[in-house]
Amino acid sequence: MASTNRSAQFARIAKILKKHNYEVVKPDPLRPVFEHLLFACCLENAHYEPAEETYAALKHTFFDFNEIRVTSISELSEVMAALPDPRAAANRFKRVLQAVFESTYCFDLEECRKKNLGPTVKWLQKLDGSTPFMVAYVVQSALGGHAIPVDSGVLGVLHIVELINDKDLEAVTVPGLERAVAKSKGIEFGAMLHQLGADFVANPYSPTVREILLEINPECKGRLPKRRARKKEKETPAAEPVKAGPSSSKGKKAPKAGEMKADEGKKASDEKKADSDAKKKPAASKKKAPAKGKTTSEGLSKRKPR
């Protein structure tokens, strides 16, 4: 962007997002530290409403966090289907549960509120399954620190409008963001920027998202994501229909003239062979039927009486 004042750039982004009716979503103050961490697993690259619904569905479906910890990622993905990437979210959720359980043998991180912020942030960063977005969300929402959560959707938006370069994109960081945005505006700005990033993840070709990005930086038109052109299918010539002969039946090919003559000659030779075999064999003699023998009772009946 032409302007070199990053504070003015981010302040301008905040005004544009307000103009496009992006609302401020504040974190639940009654939610424990550990649950803020788990909720961040659902919220990364997703809108607030489906993230809240998914988190509530997990707590309603399973008995407790320990049951979720021993559940397969495939089963968790089915419950988290409302998120943009259910399997990635389920993987984060399960790994964080396992890491916290192995470290503390419980699911309670309220002691982090009493500790210094620096060591706590380092411990969260080393936690298996945690991401920079999750750590920043817990710092901002539960620990009272100044951090603005940034996920891949937000990084993609800021990269297009040239607020970060390729190295920052690979390092998953926005240099000077916390200095450019005051702590009092951190939750407000972070929530609106997160919603823009979630819209970008849901549909990077959206006309609304495109309009907002061009309004932030009119010179970023060439950096906007473009749809891939579909390859034209090669036209294949249609197969010519096979013409059936006059003596052929449906679905069978007509025999050729040479084949017909061969069949007729074979049939005639078979008939001659059958006739010669019949002449050689003698005619079977007819057997006379045996005469019926007279029974004893019949002989006695014909005798003259004495």
List the domain boundaries for the chain: 11-24+31-223
Q: Helices marked H in 185-256 — which ranges?
A: 186-202, 207-216
Single-letter amino acid code for the residue at 270: D
Contact yes or no for 174/6 (Cβ under 8 A): no
- As given in the structure block, the two tokens for residue 191 are 């929530």
pLDDT tens figures, 214-258: 999 999 999 999 887 666 554 555 555 555 544 444 444 545 555
Residue 35 reports pLDDT greater than 50? yes
How many angstroms separate the CA atoms of 281 and 260, rounded?
33
- As given in the structure block, the two tokens for residue 132 are 């920079």
The percentage of residues in the chain with a pLDDT greater than 70, rounded to a whole number, is 73
Fold of 11-24+31-223: Endonuclease III; domain 1 (1.10.340)
27 CB contacts (<8 Å, ≥6 apart)?
A: 36, 137, 140, 141, 142, 187
How many angstroms separate the CA atoms of 79 and 99, rounded?
21
pTM here is 0.74
Q: What is the pLDDT of residue 5?
A: 84
Q: What is the pLDDT of residue 78?
A: 97
- As given in the structure block, the two tokens for residue 45 are 């690259």
Q: Which of 77-86, 145-154, 216-225, 294-303 has the lowest mean pLDDT?
A: 294-303
Q: Tell me what the pLDDT averaged over the chain comes to.
A: 83
Consecutive H or E run containing 299: helix 296-302
The angle formed by the CA atoms of residues 32, 38 and 39, to the nearest 5 degrees, is: 85
